[in-house]
Amino acid sequence: MPWILTPFVFVMSSLFVLLNTSLWSALIIVVALFKLCVPWQPWRRVTTQIANRLMWCWCACQAFYFRLINGGQWRLQGGEQLTPQQSYLMIANHRSWSDIVVICSLFYRRMPMTKFFMKQQLLYIPFMGLACWALDMPFMRRYSRETLIRKPHLRGRDLQTTRKSCAKFKGVPTTVVNFVEGTRATPDKLKRSSYRHLLAPKSAGIAYTLAAMGEQFSAIVDVTLLYPRGQSKLFLAMLAGRLNRVTVVAKTLPVDAQVIGDYFNDKPFKRDFQLWLSDRWQQKDQQMDDFYHSESKSD
């Protein structure tokens, strides 16, 4: 795409995201109102399925548009055995807002509708925040160390949110997505990281999710998002049609005794779980290193 068209594409993409998100979010909110009005469990299951289907439509529209303007070179490696009839826990690295669009675009036909752990502040975004609430997505509020020292009663609040959210997912095929690093891996943050391409993973959230829903998950899907090296402002590049190469590698891992246990009271299990997650992140970091090395050779 010629560079002269970039500003025009950016404006059109911004309008598309606004209109597409507003439309499907408004429909989801209407379904949520019906869900609230009739406190009957079978009815709530039906309305939840309708809301999930509407989000599927949002994903389909986003996938078609962004893969079209970005050249369609968004590739998924692995994940052939995934199915929409089973539930999964997806763990992934986190670079940008574009991660959500990429994951939804590449997985929406292969897995149940994704539920993201989201920051509390996103609840107040018009349309989208209410729609995510209607879809039972868990909103997490992060507290600084200083706040927890002053208000110790806030410790464990996120875990209570996780427990309530996981209870809503039981009985409905769901993909729970957790960006394990807890924040985006920006260049400044990576300078302080012990990994080359990743931030240190946070284990408590996924350990609790596995404890609460482990028997429901068919597998853990370890996803590695690989963007062109050196490309910054990924979301803006995607809107401008300049995110022309994205590779996503999916690897399925078993849900077994190695990852299900009492993380908060069983110290040996906690230590082993942290080692398991750290090993996964080291492998992911090496995988990214190999990918960028081969990419630089091909260029």
Q: Is 249 helix (H, G, I), strand (E, B) or coil?
A: strand
Q: Give the separation between CA 208 and CA 160, rounded to whole angstroms.
A: 10
- Of 3.30.460, 3.40.1130, 3.20.20, 1.10.150, the CATH number of 3-298 is 3.40.1130
What would the pLDDT profile of 122-140 be if each residue is shown by its tens digit?
A: 777 776 777 777 777 777 6
pLDDT score of 145: 62
The DSSP bridge pattern shows strands 217-226 and 246-253 to be antiparallel
Instruction: Tell me the pLDDT of the chain averaged across its residues.
Output: 85
What would the pLDDT profile of 62-106 be if each residue is shown by its tens digit?
A: 989 998 888 778 999 998 999 999 999 999 999 998 998 999 889
Residue 23 parent element (H or E): helix 6-37
pLDDT at 180 over 60: yes
Q: Give the separation between CA 107 and CA 99, rounded to whole angstroms.
A: 12
Q: Is 165 helix (H, G, I), strand (E, B) or coil?
A: helix
pLDDT at 55 over 80: yes
How many whole angstroms from its chain centre is CA 148? 26
What would the pLDDT profile of 11-48 be if each residue is shown by its tens digit?
A: 999 999 999 988 998 898 898 888 878 777 788 788 88
